[in-house]
Chain A
Amino acid sequence: MNGQYASLLIALPLISAFFVPLIKELGRKAVMGYLVMITALQTAIAGWVANEVYSTGKPIIVIAGGWKPPVGINLYIGHFAALFVLIIAVISFFMAIFSFRAVNVEPVDKYAMLFLLLMLGATGMIATGDIFNLFVFMEITAISAYALTAYNKTGEAAEASMKYIVLGGIGSSFFLIGVALIYGATGTLNMAHLAQLAGAIDPTVAQVGLALIIFGLAVEAELFPLNAWAPDAYQAAPHPITVMFSAFVVKAGLYAIGRLLYLFQGAEGWSGLLRLLVILATLTVIVAELSALRQKDAKRMIAYSSIGQVGMIAFALALGTQAGVSAGVFHMVNHAIVKALLFLTVGYVGVALGGTAIENFQGLGKRMPLTALTITIGSLATVGIPLFNIFWSKIRILLAGVEAGYSWSVALILGASVVEAVYYFRLVHTMWFVEGGGRIRENFAIGVIAIFLAALIIVIGVYPNDVWTIVQKAGQDLFNVANYIKNVPLMGVGA
Chain B
Amino acid sequence: MNVPDISIYYFGAIALVLIGLYAALVKKNLLKILIGLSIMETGVNLLLISIGYVSGKSAPILSEGVGPTQAVDPIPQALVLTAIVIGVATTAMALSAVVLIYEKYRTLNVEEIRRLRG
Contacts and interface: CB of A to CB of B under 8 A. Distances in A.
Q: Do chains A and B touch in the complex (CB under 8 A)?
A: yes
Interface of A: 132, 135-136, 139, 142-143, 146-147, 150, 153-163, 165-166, 169-170, 173, 176-177, 179-181, 183-184, 187, 189, 231-232, 235-236, 291
Given A155-B115, A166-B33, A184-B51, A173 B17 contact: yes
Interface core residue of A132, A143, A162 (most chain B CB under 10 Å): A162
Given A155-B101, A156-B116, A143 B51 contact: no
Nearest to A166: B33
A291 B41 CA distance: 33
A159 B115 contact: yes
A165 B100 contact: no
Contacts of A160: 116
B94 A176 contact: no
Contacts of A142: 90
Interface stretch (B55-63, B64-72, B79-87): B79-87
Provide the main secondary structure of the chain A interface. Answer: helix
B100 A150 contact: yes
Interface core residue of A146, A180, A236 (most chain B CB under 10 Å): A180
Contact of B76 (A158, A161, A183): A183
A170 B21 contact: yes
B100 A169 contact: no
Contact of B51 (A139, A146, A147, A180): A180
B44 interface: yes
A291 B9 CA distance: 44
Interface string B93-115: 11011101100110000000111
A180 B104 contact: no
Interface in B25-74: 30, 33-34, 37, 40-41, 43-44, 47-48, 51, 73
Contact of B116 (A179, A184, A187, A235): A235
Contacts of B115: 155-156, 159
Contacts of B24: 166, 170
Nearest to B45: A176
Nearest to B106: A155
8 contacts: A139-B89, A161-B97, A162-B98, A170-B37, A173-B41, A173-B44, A176-B83, A180-B76
A189 B82 CA distance: 15
Given A158-B101, A180-B47, A136 B37 contact: no
A159 to B, nearest CB: 5
A180 B48 contact: yes
B4 interface: no
Interface core residue of A156, A169, A177, A235 (most chain B CB under 10 Å): A169
Given A139-B86, A159-B115, A170 B93 contact: no
Contact of B97 (A136, A150, A176, A189): A150
Given A150-B100, A162-B97, A165-B97, A183 B51 contact: yes
Given A153-B100, A183-B48, 12 more contacts: A136-B86, A146-B93, A155-B101, A155-B115, A158-B101, A161-B97, A165-B93, A173-B40, A177-B47, A179-B79, A180-B48, A189-B75
A154 B82 CA distance: 32
Nearest to B118: A291
Nearest to B105: A155
A159 B86 contact: no
A146 B83 contact: no
Contacts of A189: 75
Given A166-B24, A189-B75, A176 B104 contact: no
Contacts of B105: 155, 159
B62 to A, nearest CB: 16
A212 to B, nearest CB: 10
The 10 closest A-B pairs by CB, nearest first: A155-B104, A158-B100, A184-B51, A232-B116, A169-B37, A139-B86, A158-B101, A165-B94, A161-B97, A180-B48
Contacts of B83: 135, 176
Contact of A177 (B30, B37, B44): B44
B44 A180 contact: yes
A232 B101 CA distance: 15
B99 to A, nearest CB: 8
B37 A132 contact: no
A150 B48 CA distance: 31
B116 A159 contact: yes
Contacts of A156: 115-116
A189 B78 CA distance: 12
B96 to A, nearest CB: 8
A147 B82 CA distance: 20
Nearest to A165: B94
A169 B43 CA distance: 13
A156 B41 CA distance: 27
Contact of A169 (B47, B90, B101, B114): B90
Nearest to A181: B51
B33 A177 contact: no
Nearest to B21: A170
A232 B41 CA distance: 25
Interface core residue of B21, B93, B94, B100 (most chain A CB under 10 Å): B93
B97 to A, nearest CB: 5
